[in-house]
Structures are given as C-alpha cells and as structure tokens.
Amino acid sequence: MPGRSCLGWLPGGIRENWVFQKMLKYMEVYVINLDRHRDRLLHMKNMLGENGFIRIAAVDGLDLADAQPKLPGTPGAFEHLSRFERGCIVSHQKAWMQFLETVGEYVCILEDDVILSKDFSMFIRNDTWMQGDYDVVKIETARQKVLTVPVDAARQRRRLVPLYSLHFGSAGYVISRQGAEKLVRYGQSPDVPIDLFLFRLPSAVPGLAIAQMEPALCIQQRFTQYGAEGILFQSAIAPVVKKRKHTPLRRKIVRETTQPFRQVIEMIKNTISRWRGGPVYRLIPFS
C-alpha cells in the first residue's frame, strides 16, 4: 500500500492541479521497498515522518529466474548480474517511469534502509537548490574516498560538488525529468549493478550530468554502527550473507606495514593536486 504524498493534506482537486504543483515547487519522495520487508517500510515511515512518501513496490529477486548466458553479438542484458541485482535495477526503473508519468520536475528516490539527516525535509520541501544542469544528484555517502573538489573550509552550508570517480551506492539520489528520460532511454538492459550504472565514470548514459551533495543527506544503515531502531537490516541483494574469510597472516602484515607509506603517498598527491587547483580524493561526510 503506497504511503501518502507530500501533498496528502491538500484537497484532491488542488493537489492534482498542474499549475498549483508548479508554483509549490515541492519534490516527491519515492521509497523502493519489497513486499516482504515490512520492517523497513515502518523504518522509513519513522524516518520521513510528516513528509510522507510514495512507495514503489520493489521487484523481488527471489521471483526472477537466473540470468541466461548472452548470445555472441547481442547487447548486454543482465548476464553478469545475480537475480537480486537485476531485481534492484528493475525496481529503480519502475521509479523512473512512474516519475515520468507525473508533472514534477524532480524526484527523490530512496531505498528503504537509509538513515536520513535531520534537515532532510528542508531540502525536499523546496527544490530550488537543484536548479542547474545536473541530471542526477547523489545525496548519500558510502563512506569511501571519491575524486572531487577540495574541501571548502569557509563554507558551512551544503553544496553540490562534481564527481570525478565512482561513488558506490544507489540508496539516495535526486533526478530531474531530463535525467529520468535519459536513464529510461539508455537503461533498458544494463549489464552492471544499478549504482555503477548511475554513478560510474565515464557514465554508461551519454550526456548524464552527475553531482554529489556534501555533506550527504542520507547513508545506508550498514555504514552506521546502529540504525535508528538499534538494528541493522540484512542485505536484500543476497538472501544469505557469506562468512568473511580470514586474511592470511602474511598479507595482513604486508598491509599493516605498508599502510603508513600509502597514506603518505596519497597525502602528497592530494597536496600537489590542491596546489594546482585540481580535484582530490577524500570522504564525503554525512550529517
């Protein structure tokens, strides 16, 4: 059952009026959620509160057949992906297509295991910050180092920064109408997971303009010590989590002894790049 819209409190006739929606400049929130993940749906209701959202019924990988080998000379069509990764892609495609059936200019798409920033609603209630040439803005962080512009110590507010390297994760992003049209046009049968399709550089979608919000507005529970309810959701990509293999002692010793040298090399590279006014590798914070 879909959650209520951000405009759920308005009379139906006004809510559906195209001119009124344009004047209000609101941004809908779509939450991708599997039918069997009722706990996650409750989590998102608690996270979003009075903002409300529209639920996108996710395609369950358990209901999909295993991918068939690709025939020689045919374009890519999921052949390298597990059925759970394919289900994730199709679920996001459903969200893009449903958005294109509306009159909205932008939409925020979330997966159902995210933790949201306290001021998330402030950015969703007004989409003027999204004005520009960007098709997709990633609003989450995977707490990995990405290539982007240096930190602006003097700037206290959030900002949009360019991405020059892959930033994993597809749990939170905002897309424009033009961006959704591009994604639907070129995303019929991607042969990479959804986050690589969206945020890999060079982009798999010709002309797709990508940006990163900094600090990020959301983060997946698995990158936090505890979720809002004090639990961590299991992965929906694979039903069984394999036990982590122990790293051989020799490899562990090499890794630990060389880490300081690698850090120094990275610091030197970033210093030189910053001195030249170029991009640097750094973490995108969440707050």
When pLDDT is averaged across residues 179-207 and rounded to a whole number, the result is 88
Just give the CATH number of 12-244+278-283: 3.90.550
When pLDDT is averaged across residues 96-118 and rounded to a whole number, the result is 95
pLDDT of amino acid 128? 81
Q: For the ranges 123-127, 218-222, 223-227, which has the lowest average pLDDT?
A: 223-227
Q: Point out which residues pair with 114 in neighbouring strands.
A: 220
Domain residue spans of the chain: 12-244+278-283
* Residue 259 backbone dihedrals phi, psi, to 5 degrees: -60, -45
Tens digits of residue pLDDT in 62-97: 888 765 544 444 444 555 788 888 899 999 999 999
Tens digits of residue pLDDT in 47-62: 998 888 999 999 998 8
Q: For the ranges 29-38, 86-95, 231-240, which has the lowest average pLDDT?
A: 231-240
pLDDT of amino acid 191? 78
Angle CA 127–133–135, to nearest 5: 75
Q: Point out which residues pair with 111 in neighbouring strands.
A: 32
* Residue-by-residue DSSP string for 223-274: GSSS-TTS--PPPSS-SSPPPPPPPPHHHHHHHHHHHHHHHHHHHHHHHHHH
Q: Are 37 and 30 in contact (CB under 8 A)?
A: no
Higher pLDDT among residues 247 and 94, named by residue: 94
Roughly how many angstroms between the first and final C-alpha of the chain, as a whole number?
31
Q: Has residue 24 got a pLDDT over 50?
A: no
Higher pLDDT among residues 76 and 30, named by residue: 30
Residue 75 corresponds to which amino acid? P
Nearest partner of 125 among 26, 199, 46, 266, judged by Cα: 26
Q: Has residue 225 got a pLDDT over 60?
A: yes
pLDDT of amino acid 91? 95
pLDDT of amino acid 133? 84
pTM higher than 0.95, yes or no?
no
Packed helices 177-186 and 83-100: angle between N→C axes, nearest 10 degrees: 140
